[in-house]
Amino acid sequence: MEVAKPPLFSRKMEEVSAFINAAWLYLSMKMIGEAEATKIAWVLSYVQGGVAEAWKDNLLDKLSKGKSEIEIVKELFGKIRNKFGKTAEEERKIEQLRMIEQGGRTCNEYVQEFKKVVRESSYKGQSLIEEFKRGLSGALKRKLAEVENPSHTIEEWQERAVRLRNAVHPQRNVQPRGGLSGGSYGGRGGQIIWRTGGQNFRGEAQNNWGGQGLERDPKCNGY
C-alpha cells in the first residue's frame, strides 16, 4: 500500500498539524519495527529551511552528543508542535497586538478589534493594559491619564475609555438643514458630522444645531 510522505516543513504554523499527521501515518505503516533513533532522524530529514532548519541542526547536534531529552518520535512531534505551533501563533498575535491603534476609528471599534486579537494571545495583566492605552488616540489617552481612581483590569479600562469618549463626543438626534433626517450628529470646531443611511456628511454647524452645505465625507470616522 502506497503512503504519501510528509511535505517539507519550514516552520509555518499552519503546516504543523499536516506535517505531524502525515509523518505519523507514514511511520505507522512503513517504518514499524524501526529503531526510535531512525524514526527521529527520518522525521528531521523533512524539516528544512529558515528557522526550522537551524532548530533541527541544533537538535541533531544534541542527539549526536547524547544531550537531547528526546528518546522517542512522539516526543519529537511534541517538540515541533510546541516550538512552531501554538507558540508561533502566539508570537504573531502579540506582534499584531502591538500594531493595533485606534487611528480614525471610534473607541468602541478599537476596543472590539483589541478584544478579538487578545483572545488568541498570551498577553495578560498590566502588559495588556499598557498595550491598550498605547493604541488609543492622543486626546482620549490624555483624558484617561487625568481620571482619578485608575482601573485595575483591562475590562475596566476598556469600559472607561468608551464611556469617556461618549461623554466628550455625544451624538445628538438632530436634523440639519438640507433635508437630511433619521441620522445622528457629532462634531467640533464649527463642523458637524452627520451620519445617516450608513454614510457620513460634513458641514458647517448653525446655532440651531442644523447644518448647511453638507457633503458626503467617508473619512469622518474618528468619533
Q: Which residues pair with 200 in a beta bridge?
A: 195
* pLDDT per residue as tens digits for the range 147-180: 767 777 888 888 988 888 777 555 544 444 444 4
Is 6 contained in some domain?
no
Shared-domain flag, residues 128 and 175: no
Shared-domain flag, residues 175 and 154: no
**What pLDDT shows up at residue 37?**
92
Rounded CA separation 10/17 (Å): 13
- 40 — pLDDT class (breaks 50, 70, 90): very high
Rounded CA separation 37/113 (Å): 46
Shared-domain flag, residues 158 and 181: no
Residue 194 has pLDDT above 50, yes or no: no
**What pLDDT shows up at residue 123?**
67
Shared-domain flag, residues 41 and 17: yes
Shared-domain flag, residues 150 and 190: no
Report the percentage of the chain scoring pLDDT > 70.
69
Give the helix ranges, DSSP H, for the chain: 16-30, 36-44, 50-64, 73-81, 87-99, 107-118, 125-135, 138-146, 154-168
Residue 21 has pLDDT above 80, yes or no: yes
> Among 79, 95, 111, where does a domain finish?
95
Shared-domain flag, residues 149 and 220: no
Question: For the chain, how many helices (H) and strands (E)?
Answer: 9, 4
Shared-domain flag, residues 21 and 72: yes
Distance of CA 175 to the CA centre of its chain: 39
Domain that holds residue 190: 171-223
Which residue type is seen at 58?
N
Residue 186 has pLDDT above 90, yes or no: no
**What pLDDT shows up at residue 117?**
82
Is 84 contained in some domain?
yes
Is 7 contained in some domain?
no
If one counts the domains in the chain, the total is: 3
The DSSP 8-state label assigned to residue 4 in this structure reads P
Residue 136 has pLDDT above 70, yes or no: yes
Residue 46 has pLDDT above 70, yes or no: yes
Residue 190 has pLDDT above 90, yes or no: no
Is 186 contained in some domain?
yes
- 124 — pLDDT class (breaks 50, 70, 90): confident
- 27 — pLDDT class (breaks 50, 70, 90): very high
Is 72 contained in some domain?
yes
> Among 149, 168, 187, where does a domain finish?
168
> Among 34, 67, 95, where does a domain finish?
95
Is 217 contained in some domain?
yes
Shared-domain flag, residues 164 and 175: no
The DSSP 8-state label assigned to residue 13 in this structure reads G
Asked if residue 193 lies in contact with residue 220, where contact means CB atoms within 8 angstroms, the answer is yes
Cβ neighbours, 10 Å, residue 70? 18
Shared-domain flag, residues 133 and 178: no
By three-state DSSP, how is residue 85 classified? helix
Shared-domain flag, residues 82 and 107: no
Specify burial of residue 105 (Cβ count, 10 A radius: 0-12, 13-18, 19+): middle
**What pLDDT shows up at residue 150?**
74
Shared-domain flag, residues 34 and 78: yes
Nine-digit cell string for 41: 532522524
**What pLDDT shows up at residue 49?**
83
* pLDDT per residue as tens digits for the range 82-105: 888 766 566 677 778 888 899 888
Rounded CA separation 166/180 (Å): 23
User: CA triplet 172, 134, 88: central angle to 5 degrees?
Assistant: 120
Rounded CA separation 24/5 (Å): 10
Mean pLDDT of 138-154: 81
**What pLDDT shows up at residue 74?**
93
Shared-domain flag, residues 89 and 115: no
Is 3 contained in some domain?
no
Write down the pTM of the prediction.
0.42
